[in-house]
Amino acid sequence: MSLVFQSLVLGVLMGGLYALLAAGLTLYFGVMRVVMIAHSAFLVLAAYLAWAFTVQTGLDPMLSLVVTVPLFFVLGVAVQRLLVARLRPATLTMMSVLLTFAVALAVEGTLGFVFTGTHRRIPLSYSGARLELFGASVALVKLIAFGLAVVTLVGLHVLLKVTRFGQALRATMQHREAARLLGVDTDRIAGFGFGLGLATAAVGGTALALDSTIYPSLHWHWIGPLMAIIVVGGLGSVAGAAIAALLLGVGQNLLQIPLGTTWAQTFFYAALFVTLILRPQGFFGGRLAQRF
Amino acid sequence: MRSGSETVAKAFGLVALAAFVVAFPSLASDPFVLSVGVVIVSYAVLATAWNFVGGFTGYISLGHAAYSGLGGYATGLLILRAEVNPWLALLLGGLVVAALAVPVGIAALRVRGASFVIVSIALVLVLLLVFQSWESVTGGSDGLRVPRPFGPEVLRPEQHQRFFYLHAVLLAVMLLCWWAIDRSRFGMGLKGIREDEDKARSLGVPTVRYKLAAFVISAFFTALGGGLYALWFGFLDPIFQFSILVGSNMVLMSLLGGVRSLFGPLVGAVVVGYATEFFKAQYGDTQMHLVAMGVLLAVVVLFLPDGVIPAVRGLVARLRPEQASIREVTQEELAEEVRR
């Protein structure tokens, strides 16, 4: 019983991180109808930057966010402006996948070249600390990672719902032409949408670096589950992606008990294939998903 | 007549290509060059197999490594565990993979665009997990040693030569199939799907069946390519068999050459394969390969989405003396027709 509860708690914590990353993917998809394969490559890049920051300065990796979040925002705008926006609209969806895939390869290769393929882990004074949570024993770093994810998601939610920029962004996601007719500079907003999405990768990468070993090809282990989450949740729906992320995260952790870590990974892909057979538009998606 | 001279040029090109392929093993200065030749034809086989679905239907699969890997493993396992004749195992392996591709295709082809690419990637990742973990059958991460189909009396260079010709024959069969489909009603329907699936459907093209058929044909040939490579190389490691890179290589080669042309994937395979082997020989296996491949793919997607062959053809057409009319028949011929 306690083992199941433990897995449940760990699953929720994992799901929080998945939800944050899936939110980024949803933003890209919302503003440009683009599936950004390179998202998890940037996630690993942020993790490496956090690692390098801590190793060089000896400060806490979370302080690296001060640099990486603005940096990734600018990178995101650049990726949208310089690469994605140049594709022909007719073949945008297919070609953008290939283009962002190419970006992912370039990022992975550069990471391997600069940091070598050696597995790295951030030395943390509190990495061994554990907390008792309703009877489950949870590593402190996992809680911090979850906290980072939740704070960022809440911040993102407020930004989208309250500010004028958020309104413009949501309008662009809902109907680009209509938004432009109402005076929204949709090209600029799309660039900012990419920037915001990549900024979530910066936060996620730092959270990831806190409690796992990183290596350049790690992003392939993330892109599969993340893709499964956005398909199950319904492409383009932030809330749907978050629900799917929590459900799949919990499911994966529960299945680890009878199956072991490797086979439990296949749960994501099983969920992906089942979703495509039963409901190709996703289970929690709104209107956006239908169009795809 | 332009079309007449074009036909002659085409026939001449084909004969020259065939002559080069036949002569290559004797032209190759040493076994290493010959082995590079085998790798390049193998790339060409895989890229052309990919193009049955990518070129005709426009559904870009990044996960065709799933079928080449499965083909390799099916061939190897049939030889090792069931003691089937190697060549029969190759064919059976291809058929098994084609049968497996039917349910996968039904699931994957329900979605268009990005979702399809996601599914194709997911398939490779899940197969990698399965083949690494299921040690009792697949040999797990240690890999699987595939016995050579020729006896020990056949030496290395001789092996390379035989496999070079075997790959070339497979490639020729595939090119013939592609050419035949390209001219058929079936091919017309597939190209309709590529240009506008909804319109094709409303015109009565059975899109679901056509897409699935193209997908299964492509999986079958990819599996044969993977199996033949496994017989030549003699060793299978899940990391390299079920690698996203193998699949993306197929896409890069086809796109670079031109997915709408019969010889596009072949041209792309020669360029990319030669460049890869050249850099490997010069600089060894570094991470810069990934960067180079990423940059090349990005350049192709951004600036040459139709490939080299159409781009060169466009250039040639511009250098030719300007044609008087865009019509295929001249004014005089039309007038003649009217008078009759």
Tens-place pLDDT, residues B260-281: 888 889 999 998 888 888 877 7
Give the least confident one: A155-159, A255-259, B92-96, B196-200: A255-259
The distance of B152 to chain A (nearest Cα, Å) reads 39
C-alpha to C-alpha distance for B259 and B301, rounded to whole angstroms: 12
Q: What is the mean pLDDT of chain A?
A: 84
**Residue B46: pLDDT band by 50, 70, 90 thresholds?**
very high
pLDDT, greater one: A238 or A191:
A191
Q: Kindly state the tokens that stand for A189.
A: 């907003």
C-alpha to C-alpha distance for B194 and B190, rounded to whole angstroms: 6
Name the residue among B114, B290, B298 with its Cβ closest to that of A109: B290
**Residue A237: pLDDT band by 50, 70, 90 thresholds?**
confident
pLDDT above 60 for A189: yes
Q: What is the mean pLDDT of chain B?
A: 85
**pTM value?**
0.84
Highest mean pLDDT among A172-186, B211-225, B323-337: B211-225
Taking residues A185-206, report their average pLDDT.
90
pLDDT above 60 for A290: no
Nearest to B106 by CA among B208, B240, B4: B208
Closest-CA residue of B relative to A113 is B287
Taking residues B33-38, report their average pLDDT.
88
Put simply, the answer to whether A272 touches B125 (Cβ < 8 Å) is no
In chain B, the N- to C-terminal Cα span, in Å, equals 22
Query: What ipTM, to 2 d.p.?
Result: 0.84
Name the residue among A34, A103, A228 with its Cβ closest to that of B294: A103
Q: Which of residues 25-44 of B touch A (CB under 8 A)?
A: none
Taking residues B204-225, report their average pLDDT.
93
pLDDT above 70 for B332: no
Percent of chain A past pLDDT 90, that is, above it, reads 16
Quote the pLDDT of residue B340. Answer: 57
Quote the pLDDT of residue A289. Answer: 42
Name the residue among A95, A102, A276 with its Cβ closest to that of B305: A95
**Residue A285: pLDDT band by 50, 70, 90 thresholds?**
low
Put simply, the answer to whether B62 touches A97 (Cβ < 8 Å) is yes
Quote the pLDDT of residue B331. Answer: 62
Taking residues A143-154, report their average pLDDT.
89
pLDDT above 70 for A194: yes
The distance of A228 to chain B (nearest Cα, Å) reads 8
Quote the pLDDT of residue B291. Answer: 86
Q: Which of residues 234-253 of B touch A (CB under 8 A)?
A: 244-245, 248, 251
Taking residues B117-141, report their average pLDDT.
84
For residue A111, list chain B residues with Cβ-Cβ distance below 8 A: 287
pLDDT above 90 for B245: no
| Residue reference for tokens 């197929």 | B250
**Residue A156: pLDDT band by 50, 70, 90 thresholds?**
confident
pLDDT, greater one: B323 or A170:
A170
Put simply, the answer to whether B305 touches A109 (Cβ < 8 Å) is no
Quote the pLDDT of residue A292. Answer: 38
Name the residue among A113, A224, A292 with its Cβ closest to that of B122: A224
Put simply, the answer to whether B107 touches A269 (Cβ < 8 Å) is no
Q: Any chain A CB within 8 A of the CB of B295?
A: yes
Instruction: Compute the residue count for chain A.
Output: 292
Q: Kindly state the tokens that stand for A152.
A: 């960022």
**Residue B17: pLDDT band by 50, 70, 90 thresholds?**
confident
Put simply, the answer to whether B255 touches A98 (Cβ < 8 Å) is yes
Closest-CA residue of B relative to A216 is B287
Q: Backbone phi, then psi, for A33, in 5-degree steps? A: 55, 45
Quote the pLDDT of residue A288. Answer: 47
Percent of chain B past pLDDT 70, that is, above it, reads 93
pLDDT above 80 for B198: yes
Q: Given the DSSP bridges, would you call strands B144-145 and A136-139 parallel, antiparallel or unpaired?
A: unpaired
Three state DSSP letters for chain B: CHHHHHHHHHHHHHHHHHHHHHHHHHHCCCHHHHHHHHHHHHHHHHHHHHHHHHHHHCCCCCCCHHHHHHHHHHHHHHHHHHCCCHHHHHHHHHHHHHHHHHHHHHHHCCCCHHHHHHHHHHHHHHHHHHHHHCHHHHCHHHCEECCCCCCCCCCHHHHHHHHHHHHHHHHHHHHHHHHHHHHCHHHHHHHHHHHCHHHHHHCCCCHHHHHHHHHHHHHHHHHHHHHHHHHHHCEECHHHHCCHHHHHHHHHHHHHHCCCCCCHHHHHHHHHHHHHHHHHHHHCCCCHHHHHHHHHHHHHHHHCCCCHHHHHHHHHHHHCCCCCCCCCCCHHHHHHHHHC
Do residues B125 and A224 lie in contact, with contact meaning Cβ atoms separated by under 8 Å? Answer: yes
pLDDT, greater one: B313 or B113:
B313
Quote the pLDDT of residue B1. Answer: 46
How many CB pairs (< 8 A) connect A and B?
A: 137
Put simply, the answer to whether B119 touches A272 (Cβ < 8 Å) is yes
Closest-CA residue of B relative to A281 is B111
What residues contact residue B177 under an 8 Å CB cut-off, 6+ apart? B52, B217, B221
C-alpha to C-alpha distance for B88 and B279, rounded to whole angstroms: 36
